[in-house]
Amino acid sequence: MEDARVDRLFSLARTGRLGRRQLLETGLRLGLASPVIMSLIEAAPKTASAAPVTPAQRANPRVQVQEESSGTLVILWTSGTEDIDPHYTYSELASAVALMVYEMLLKLKGDSTDEFEPMLAESWEVSEDQSTYTFNLYPDVIFHDGTPANARAVKDSYTRWIELEGSPVNVITRFCDSPDKMEVIDETTLRFNLGSPQPLFLAAMASSYGPMVISPTALAENATEDDPYAHEWAKAFAVGSGPYVLESNSVSEGITLARFDGYHRGWEGNHFDGVIFRVVPEDATRRQLLERGEADAATSNLTIDALEALRNNPAVQVIEYPTAAVSWAIMNAPRLLGKEVRQGFSYAFPYDDVQNVVYKGLLTRSGPIPDSVRGYDPDVFLYQTDLDKAKELILSGGFKEGDVFEYMVDANEETQQTVAQLFQANVQEMGFNLELISVDYATIESTVYGDAPPEERPHFIGGWGWWPDYNDPWNQLWPNFTEANIGGGGSNGGAWVNQRFEEIMAEAEHFESEEELDALMKEAQTILTEQDPPVNYFGQRVDFPLLGADIQGFVPNPLYLEAYNVYGMSRVSS
């Protein structure tokens, strides 16, 4: 594996796609011997002289090689991922990497969920009826393999996205279900002829799940007869046009990126030359690395108690912001015998303790739609804990005192364990029993997405939740609460069905005005909360990115969760 990486570095060095400074930093990060590093530097075009290698640089890959460089940004994750193919996976790590390695046509602007700025496209025009979208691409953009990132490449990449039919395919096929609707006008112009008004198309094309443009040449070179879309290759490798090149990818150790010297926006000013996504499973170790300055960033993956302590540590910046993610516990509708029972358990949930004691304010009470997404109802019905009313409703639904209910929870997630125990105490106070089934998160995922019938699933599955791919309530609700998403990879793990809600979703998928959408969503939220609840809503999640005190330029976005705008970030010179 190391030989392959060295060969790749020599190739990048000889072609000038990695500069001498990058080769030095990369060699140090990979732990290569000094003679190998010097050979790499000698292989590069002699347009710059190599900086001397100091013992401190050998020991610490974050040391700046030159004053104008911010060095390497080290981001801590709890685990790696086996799939970084942006057309196939919903992995948060894959999305964070994709936003650095690949480009989309456009992206969300700053912290907005409905304003956009250029990425591959420098401008775009929308027809009056919002059925035709024309994107004007920056000229002379290249992929990391040196091939052109032009209109044809975008169409070919998106054709692969549609035909591969991976998890995020609905992000595009909801609006553009066939490659025939994409028209290459010329080298830098691509038009989407959607056939009907699609006011959310720009929002979808700015999603961090799916719209990445992959080099068609790299895909073709790695395709096989059994794998014509080169998915097996794209699970571990990446060739995009973004500011950073994928250097190494290990599920157990992490992912390393290096600056792409050919990036079309250039490198004037102070930027990070590389990024390391380092896998550190232990909470205590992640905290120590941040406190000692041996890592630069982590997002919401420390305990809340550790967060409390870090708020007073001048070496760490704590940034808190509301996301578009809503957390909940799934209720098994068929096993809970009716909406009255689910209403009862909604009244039994310990909302105040969960919000203030467990999450310590890092959760805002909400219904199923977060406040940064269109269609949000500020007057949505919210349950308050009332054990007398809860017991009355549960008994009226056919259960009796002493009955046992099951609650599946992540064994490795302290916060969710505490939530489950608080709920258990309330259920027991009413005269029932709640059995906690602690499993790993993979088991929770396979239970929710699997095909097991409701009678083989627990009454509750805790610690679930969702955020939309883009600013759209249909995209938030449809995957979780429609009949089409029961089993077979859908997220309706409680097998909940409501016919009026199905009708609302069908209308909302192709709404014609914001007023119509708001009216539909107001009714939908009433059904999902007060009338016929499918889940217990914990609330809207507040994320807390942790950054070193010397990091500047980070802009959180409610929809780009656990992602970093690294190209716009830098390290403050000491």
User: What is the tens place of the pLDDT at every residue in 243-289?
Assistant: 999 999 999 999 999 999 999 999 999 999 999 999 999 999 999 99
Residues 6+ apart with CB under 8 A from 114: 203, 374, 471
Phi-psi domain of 360 (left: phi exceeds 0; alpha: psi -120 through 50; beta: other): left
Q: How far is the CA of 67 from the CAs of 70, 147, 270, 271, 315, in angstroms?
A: 8, 32, 9, 11, 21
Helix runs in 292-373, H state only: 304-310, 339-348, 351-353
pLDDT value, residue 30: 53
Question: Cα separation of 296 and 62, whole Å?
Answer: 9
Tokens matching residue 38: 């010097």
Stretch(es) of the chain classified as CATH 3.10.105.10: 321-543
* Topology of the domain covering 97-217: D-Maltodextrin-Binding Protein; domain 2 (3.40.190)
State how far Cα 84 lies from the chain centre. 12
pLDDT above 90 coverage of the chain, percent: 84
pLDDT value, residue 51: 29
Instruction: Look up residue 349 and give its DSSP letter.
Output: S
Question: Cα separation of 53 and 28, whole Å?
Answer: 9
- 520 burial type by CB count under 10 A (0-12 exposed, 13-18 middle, 19+ buried): buried
DSSP reduced 3-state for 164: helix
Amino acid at 28: L
Q: What angle do CA 565, 566, 570 make, to 5 degrees?
A: 120
Helix runs in 378-513, H state only: 387-396, 414-429, 441-449, 473-481, 499-509
Find the length of the chain: 574
Tokens matching residue 296: 């630069």
Q: Answer with the residue of higher pLDDT: 532 or 68.
A: 532
pLDDT value, residue 421: 98
The predicted model scores a pTM of 0.85
Rounded average pLDDT over 489-510: 96
Average pLDDT of every residue of the chain: 91
Query: What's the pLDDT tens digit per position in 318-360?
Result: 999 999 999 999 999 999 999 999 999 999 999 999 999 999 9
pLDDT classification of 308: cutoffs 50, 70, 90: confident
Phi-psi domain of 322 (left: phi exceeds 0; alpha: psi -120 through 50; beta: other): beta
Stretch(es) of the chain classified as CATH 3.40.190.10: 97-217
pLDDT value, residue 54: 29
**HSE, side-chain direction, 13 A CA sphere, residue 124:** 24
Question: Cα separation of 17 and 13, whole Å?
Answer: 6
State how far Cα 335 lies from the chain centre. 32
Phi, psi dihedrals of residue 298, rounded to the nearest 5°: -160, 145
Pairing of strands 363-364, 535-543: antiparallel
Pairing of strands 121-126, 182-186: unpaired
Please give the CATH architecture assigned to the domain spanning 321-543. Answer: Roll (3.10)
